[in-house]
Amino acid sequence: MKIMKFLSLVTLVLLVASCNQTAVSKKPVKTELDSVSYAIGMDVAKNVKASFDDFDDELFIQGFMNVLDSTDILLDETTAQTVVRTYFQKKQQEEAAKRAEDGEKNKEEGIAFLEENKGKDGVKTTASGLQYIVLKEGTGAKPTSSSKVKVHYHGTLIDGTVFDSSVDRGEPAEFGVTQVIKGWTEGLQLMSEGAKYKFFIPQELAYGANPRPGGPIKPYATLIFDVELLEVK
């Protein structure tokens, strides 16, 4: 079982570290094997931190030593595997429930925000639900679905949190009109070269339930972008 093998490796690392913490912390890395050994230790530590909110090192090492000595073993192999498997399944279920709860909250907050926003001065709403404000009209070409564009943009969540900004990076972005989220694809084709618009993008025209894992955009988040269309290619 992969989990049990992983935990055995972690146990060994913890055992060595607990028995000789000073030596481990001061031993230099000189050879290729030293580097590999140290890198594995780093990787195991990261996995432990990511997998457990709380961890009893003493019981962990006790279980390891009991198996090595074949004495005082508190759990049989089948029970031990079941305990570990159940723990991780429960953790996954709790995390999934939390994501679903947060996602539903984001969805409701986005709907309320857009409902209020659509009545504000200058806000226009398309048939798809995309909302936008014309900050500055352009005089150049309009992009089509086959166009490539050069833009500056500044993206925030409805609470003002900045999640991405070519303006802050000081470097415009270039991409195809259909290579972005639906709200952008639609909104860009409303603009003319030189224009600057503000988009209010409903979650269903953004990333919906599947934003980039680990990123600042959460499931069902409504997004806001200031977009300046610099060039149509």
Active site residues: 153, 163-164, 181, 207, 225
Of 100, 98, 215, 208, which is closest to residue 161 (Cα–Cα)? Answer: 215
Task: Give the number of other CB atoms < 10 A from CB of residue 187.
Answer: 26
What stretches of 62-218 adopt beta strand conformation (E)? 124-125, 131-136, 148-157, 162-165, 173-176, 196-201
Is the separation of the CB atoms in 203 and 222 below 8 Å? yes
CA-CA distance, 227 to 167, in Å (whole number)?
A: 10
CA 117 to chain centre: 27
